[in-house]
Amino acid sequence: MDYSVDQIGQLTVSFAIKLVVAAVIWFIGTTVAKMICDALRRVLRRQNGIDPSVANFSARALNWVMIGAIIVAILDLFNIETTGIVAILGAATLAVGLALKDTLANFAAGVMILLFRPFATGDFIEVSGETGTVRNINLFRTEIATVDNIQIIIPNNDTWTTVLKNYSAYDRRRMDLVIGVDYGADMDEAVRIVRQVVTSDLRALHDPEPFVKVTNLGASSVDITARVWCKREDLFDFKFEVTKRIKEALDQAGISIPFPHMQVVVEQPSADLPKAITS
């Protein structure tokens, strides 16, 4: 098609105007998008229980959606058909989603973990057969350190979909001890000694009331079970020190704690057996 000079001039002016309008749309749109996303980030960060990573991700996701809408508006301004582009992007998104389904599953689980906070950094947890202190949580994986300081990396999908024990979730923990004493011991005296030792410690809580009773008649001992509540941070030191003091108190009272032992009996061969057999 042949265009006259006037038509070419009109098309040039129209195109230039559209470029200016597109530039204005882009500038105003991206500026407004940034303001809205920053406001969303600030609002989410002020909410209790929402991790900063979730706030940042939500703001970035909204920003990309708004930029996509701005691009579509600019393309429409130039009368460019966007239906095909949207279809291609949808197909590409589906292909990428199928290829990265495990990664996306970890990402989705990471969002859920950061949003609902079943545990936090510093908590002592057991998950996927591993036990340790949480060092880092991000959108794809959870890092814990075992008690002997070994780094364990667990994909978030495993963390979210398996049974999780959070030993730091509550302020109080129960200390359980089982002490075996000799069958010939005075049971009332043994129970009294164990109760006195565990309740005299300042770390022992008295609500609920400590439980100290005979709970089992074992193969070689009578078992006394002590269940005492304490603060979460006192549990291990409390248990270790009380165990030592119970042993010392029982020794002073003459109450023995049975332990496995072996008795060896050596028999001399009978004198009337043939020598060939005994040699």
Strand-pair partners of 179: 224
How distant, in Å, are the alpha carbons of 36, 56, 138, 143, 277 from that of 134?
33, 21, 11, 6, 68
pTM of the predicted protein model: 0.62
Amino acid code (one letter) for 126: E
Residues 6+ apart with CB under 8 A from 15: none
* Domain annotation for the chain: domains and CATH numbers: 5-99 (1.10.287.1260), 118-166 (2.30.30.60), 172-252 (3.30.70.100)
pLDDT in single tens digits along all 279 residues of the chain: 555 666 666 777 777 888 888 888 899 988 998 898 888 888 777 766 566 766 777 788 788 888 888 888 888 777 777 676 667 777 776 676 666 678 788 888 888 888 888 998 899 999 999 999 999 888 788 999 999 999 999 999 999 999 999 999 999 999 999 999 999 999 999 999 999 999 999 999 999 999 999 999 998 899 999 999 999 999 999 999 999 999 999 999 999 988 776 667 777 666 555 555 444
Half-sphere exposure of 236 (CA within 13 A, CB side): 5
